[in-house]
Structure 1
Amino acid sequence: MSLVDASVLTPCPAAALLASPIPADGHTMAADSLLRYLQIKVHHLIQRESWNRIHVVGGYDRQAVISGHEKTGKLFNVERPTAEIHGRELVIKAFPGNDYVHHYALIIATYLAMTNKPADIVRYELPDPVVCRAAVELLDLDMDGDLVIVGWGLAHLAPAADAWIYGPGYAWQQARLHGRRVIYLGFLHSIWGDVAGRVVTRLAELGARDVVYVGKVGALQPGVEPNTRLATGNTSLLGGTTVTWHDFFGDFATAQPGVHTGLHVTSPSILLENQGWLTEHAEHAFVDPEIGPMGAAAHHAGIGFGYLHVISNNLARHYPADLSNERGRDVVHRRSILVEQIRNIIGNRMAALSV
């Protein structure tokens, strides 16, 4: 048995909620880009076959049917939710987290609606908090006041390509940077939304003093071209409440050329970021699902947190690069330059702290 409670193996328990598709014509992504984004996320069994019911649950189960659309050529965040067949009903198992389960159910329902298939067959069940905590508690590292760098681009940030030590769903390596031990930590699965907050809580329990999250955000200001600038800050709007944390970078990152700062907004799903949502948050700077929960968890645990992200897309203006074509050659090249800048900023910040 995986981390899924046995009760979810009945394909549609009474606790299941309907996943309503998002209208494509009101979304901040153009319809063709939105459909491409969905196609690279939806499990191949859903794209190839018709089902009477689809039920999305929280459970990390690599023994179930692995998606044919999992990423290749990457070390981390390569795994998609898996599937378990029950006759003409399908159970989709996403890594346990409220935001991720809901997000993936919206992905499936919206994909079905956009491809003219019945979308009212999709239900989701929010995972038990005990299951969510147990999934993250599989992370087990020996730390003592270390800096942990977690997230995206780690293959280019960590010093050794062949030094990764693997655990259940993650890999890590350590190095010394300006006299301090640094842990590079990557996850094979997504740590979407509230999962990322629990990761920070777990790292604090294990002895981390600071956590730096490297990833990607969407810009909410129309003049910011994707893949040309970095984002940082120490404040996020999370569930209608402003949260602030002790910023690992202080004012150091914001003083660097090409680094943009401002108030971040936490959104539990890209599918919810329609034009009405954009109008409501037009005065803010960035959006992603993880920064707010991570910053709030760090603040609660009394440790430092900082993010330094590539601005990967723009919700306020359509640019050629968006979330549907991230593997394009020009995008990859531009991001490689930004990752090198991230490496330099982290190194220089560590050097300044060691003085």
Structure 2
Amino acid sequence: MGEQLHRYVLPKVPELDLRDVQAIKVYGSPSLALLLNAKPLDSKLFNWRRPEFIRLGGFLHCVASPGRDYTWHYAKLIATAGLIRGQQRPVVLTQPRRYEVERFIDRWLPLSLPDADLVILGYVQHLFRQEAESVPWTHCHGFGWKRIEVAGATVLLLGCEFSYWGDLSGSLTAAILRRGITSWVMYVGKLGALDPSLAPNQWLATGQSSVVDGVPFGWQGRLQYVRPTGRTLRDICHVTMPSVIDETREWAVEASQSSQVVDPEIGHMGRAAVKAGASFDYLHLVTDNLVKDFGQGLYDERLKRVASQRKSLVMEAEQMIRRSIVQTC
């Protein structure tokens, strides 16, 4: 993000009095009660819980959702904010173990979720408003859902109050498939471009492969069989990274030689689907460009013109999903 980095980082890390703080400890907690709403809701039903900062003795504790990537991401955010503000303190990261991540998801994912032909995660509050308007959200601590009918198939729109960043998304996908709720998961979200020709908020991207920890692999999806809309890019080369802060200029130059887009979740979700023998698709809005400055990015998501452009892309995403249901269900 270059010179705009502070606009992304600082709103996520509160400015606190650190004069007597020896170090900042970052770790995960299995309790949703410790994940608070750090910003106005603005009718935002999902993804509003954020890590809590608690001062105890000579330490500042950052308590986050117990994801290995999410705690890593927040440790990087805190360290970066300290550099920007001139308030550097040692950041001590304790990453959760894999079983703790899985246990957290299993604890909070409701047992009462209904079966569906397709489960959609991510941008669910904005999808299929015509079909979903008369169906109320069912809420359970941490999640909310609607089961609607789209093109003759049952679709479960599953929203989450906390951020299932990185490997948490893989554990969520695995739990959904393990419980037999569906055999097809789709993630509609946003990602960054490594291709200088892809302007933010103008394109949708989808594919069936990613690189995680330097290892490429693929999965089976259904969008590959669908005629794309005019602004949908298929067979995109994707790379999964644990934190936006890891996406440095040097990294982006090297990664752009083999990848076109990047985000923290897709690879983990695809890998969970492969293990379960299920279908997985992503259909993401390209919302940022890491190698060329278009004057738009993650730092200005609330601007009206950005919201308008994304609304148009969401409508195209709905077209693609309908086509995939008609052709594959």
TM-score (norm: length of structure 1):
0.85
Instruction: Report the alpha carbon displacement of residue 68 of structure 1 after superposing the two structures with TM.
Output: 3.6
1:315 aligned to 290, 297, 300, which one?
Answer: 290
Instruction: Report the alpha carbon displacement of residue 203 of structure 1 after superposing the two structures with TM.
Output: 0.7
Check if 1:39 corresponds to 2:13.
no
**Could you tell me whether the CA contact under 8 Å between 1:142 and 1:206 is conserved in 2?**
no
Aligned to 1:30: 2
- Please list the CA deviations of residues 111-132 of structure 1 after superposition, one character each: whole Å capped at 9, or x if unmatched: 0111111232x11101133321
Return the alpha-carbon distance in structure 1 between the equivalents of residues 124 and 103 of structure 2. Answer: 26
1:200 aligned to 166, 169, 173, which one?
Answer: 173
2:109 aligned to 130, 135, 139, which one?
Answer: 139
Amino acid paired to 2:132:
A
Deviates more, 1:87-96 or 1:298-307: 87-96
1:237 aligned to 211, 232, 247, which one?
Answer: 211
**Could you tell me whether the CA contact under 8 Å between 2:35 and 2:49 is conserved in 1?**
no
Q: How does 1:315-334 map to 2 (within 5 A)?
A: 315-334=290-309
Q: How does 1:1-355 map to 2 (within 5 A)?
A: 29-31=1-3, 33-42=4-13, 44=14, 47-50=15-18, 51-64=21-34, 66=36, 68-69=38-39, 72-120=42-90, 122-137=91-106, 138-140=108-110, 141-144=112-115, 146-157=117-128, 159-161=131-133, 163-207=136-180, 208-252=182-226, 255-261=228-234, 262-283=236-257, 284-354=259-329
Amino acid paired to 2:149:
R
**Could you tell me whether the CA contact under 8 Å between 1:62 and 1:82 is conserved in 2?**
no
- Please list the CA deviations of residues 67-107 of structure 1 after superposition, one character each: whole Å capped at 9, or x if unmatched: 54465332211111113331232211111110000001100
**Could you tell me whether the CA contact under 8 Å between 1:174 and 1:183 is conserved in 2?**
yes
% of aligned pairs identical?
Answer: 32
Amino acid paired to 1:49:
D
Amino acid paired to 1:196:
S
Cα 1:226–1:96, aligned 2, differ >3 Å: closer, same or farther? same
Secondary structure of the residue aligned to 1:202 is helix
Return the alpha-carbon distance in structure 2 between the equivalents of residues 59 and 151 of structure 1. Answer: 22
Structure 1 unpaired stretches of 5+: 1-28
**Could you tell me whether the CA contact under 8 Å between 2:37 and 2:48 is conserved in 1?**
no
Amino acid paired to 1:30:
G
Cα 1:88–1:67, aligned 2, differ >3 Å: closer, same or farther? farther
Instruction: Report the alpha carbon displacement of residue 146 of structure 1 after superposing the two structures with TM.
Output: 2.7
Cα 1:70–1:49, aligned 2, differ >3 Å: closer, same or farther? farther
Aligned to 1:22: none
TM-score (norm: length of structure 2):
0.92
Return the alpha-carbon distance in structure 2 between the equivalents of residues 71 and 30 of structure 1. Answer: 29
Instruction: Report the alpha carbon displacement of residue 65 of structure 1 after superposing the two structures with TM.
Output: 7.5
Instruction: Report the alpha carbon displacement of residue 280 of structure 1 after superposing the two structures with TM.
Output: 1.8
**Could you tell me whether the CA contact under 8 Å between 1:165 and 1:171 is conserved in 2?**
yes
Secondary structure of the residue aligned to 2:225 is coil
Instruction: Report the alpha carbon displacement of residue 30 of structure 1 after superposing the two structures with TM.
Output: 1.6
Aligned to 1:15: none
Instruction: Report the alpha carbon displacement of residue 318 of structure 1 after superposing the two structures with TM.
Output: 0.9
**Could you tell me whether the CA contact under 8 Å between 2:229 and 2:316 is conserved in 1?**
no
RMSD of aligned Cα (Å): 1.8
**Could you tell me whether the CA contact under 8 Å between 1:76 and 1:188 is conserved in 2?**
yes
**Could you tell me whether the CA contact under 8 Å between 2:124 and 2:159 is conserved in 1?**
no
Secondary structure of the residue aligned to 1:40 is helix
Cα 1:169–1:65, aligned 2, differ >3 Å: closer, same or farther? closer
Return the alpha-carbon distance in structure 2 between the equivalents of residues 302 and 96 of structure 1. Answer: 26
- Please list the CA deviations of residues 151-204 of structure 1 after superposition, one character each: whole Å capped at 9, or x if unmatched: 124333353356111122111110122332111001111010000001110010
Structure 2 unpaired stretches of 5+: none
